[in-house]
Copies of this chain bind each other. A is one copy, B any other.
Amino acid sequence: VPARAGRRPLSRDRVLAAAVDLADAEGLEAVTMRRLAAALGVEAMSLYHHLPGKDALLDGLLDTVVAEMGTAVAARSGEAADWREALRLRCLSAREVMLRHPWVPGLMNARTTVPAGLPRHYDAILATLVEDGGFSYHLAHRALHALGTMALGFVQEPFAAGAGAADDAGTDAEVAAAMAADLPHLAAMVAAESHAGDEQVLGWCDSQAEFEFTLGLLLDGLAAAHAAETPAG
């Protein structure tokens, strides 16, 4: 239970920062409107002036951590010489953030909404693959699924709900235009993959095919590692 600082007025950011600290220290189940308020030296009902409710608090927790992951990735992005090293550093940075906040993966797949900053991470990974690595959007799409768990520290299907713009969503065309501007590679990938075939499950992702692709990568890699350890066998 952290000591409450001064008497600054409450704000959304201050509430979320205190909630992250509370979850880190005592686990997510300790993040209760009443206990969080007590940690801030305030009554539970005061929190409702800065967040609409518990659900918004949980979504805000994930937004906060996704933003932290962005700064962690940016801090080391200069070291990378090629796409492979860039992705490796990104995954290691994501892992460090998750080790600081072990409650994040569980919360992530409990929520149905997509954290606000997440599509930007997907777009950045695609940029590395397509621009630096010269990947096709098709293979980059598969890479995104294969690396998803490790690049972000949790399993998350992109585009499960309305990723990207949410509150100020206008017509579909406006949303698509906004996405193309902010998330150019994500938009290009969706466009490329949507016209590729008609057999998609679950919207335009064939999650069974993605699963089998990732599984094949791992099994091929293990077979190669095995061949290397027993050249004669």
Residues of A in contact with B (beta carbons under 8 Å apart): 84, 87-88, 91-92, 95, 105-106, 109-110, 133-136, 139, 142-143, 146-147, 149-150, 155, 211-212, 214-226, 229-230, 233
- Cβ of A226 and Cβ of B146 under 8 Å apart? no
Residues of B within 8 A of A87 (CB): 219
- Cβ of A229 and Cβ of B136 under 8 Å apart? yes
- Cβ of A226 and Cβ of B139 under 8 Å apart? yes
10 contacts between A and B (CB under 8 A): A95-B211, A106-B106, A106-B109, A133-B226, A134-B226, A139-B229, A142-B225, A143-B222, A149-B149, A150-B218
- The majority secondary structure among interface residues of chain A is helix
How many angstroms from the CA of A4 to the CA of B134 in the assembled complex? 59
Distance in Å: Cβ of A165 to nearest Cβ of chain B: 27
How many angstroms from the CA of A215 to the CA of B92 in the assembled complex? 9
Residues of B within 8 A of A110 (CB): 106
Residues of B within 8 A of A233 (CB): 134
Known: A91-B215, A109-B106, A146-B218. A84 touches B223 (CB 8 A): yes
Distance in Å: Cβ of A212 to nearest Cβ of chain B: 8
Known: A106-B109, A110-B106, A211-B95. A221 touches B225 (CB 8 A): no
Residues of B within 8 A of A212 (CB): 92
When all copies of this chain in the complex are counted, the total is 2
How many angstroms from the CA of A221 to the CA of B222 in the assembled complex? 10
- Cβ of B230 and Cβ of A134 under 8 Å apart? yes
How many angstroms from the CA of A125 to the CA of B11 in the assembled complex? 51
How many angstroms from the CA of A148 to the CA of B147 in the assembled complex? 15
9 tightest A-B contacts by CB?
A: A217-B221, A143-B222, A106-B109, A106-B110, A84-B219, A221-B221, A91-B215, A146-B218, A150-B215
If A87-B219, A106-B110, A146-B222 are given as contacts, then 18 extra A-B residue pairs at C-beta distance below 8 Å, sorted by A number, are A84-B219, A88-B215, A88-B219, A91-B215, A105-B155, A133-B226, A135-B226, A136-B229, A139-B226, A139-B229, A142-B225, A143-B222, A147-B222, A149-B149, A149-B155, A150-B218, A217-B217, A217-B222
Q: Which residue of B109, B214, B220 contacts A105 across the interface (Cβ within 8 Å)?
A: B109
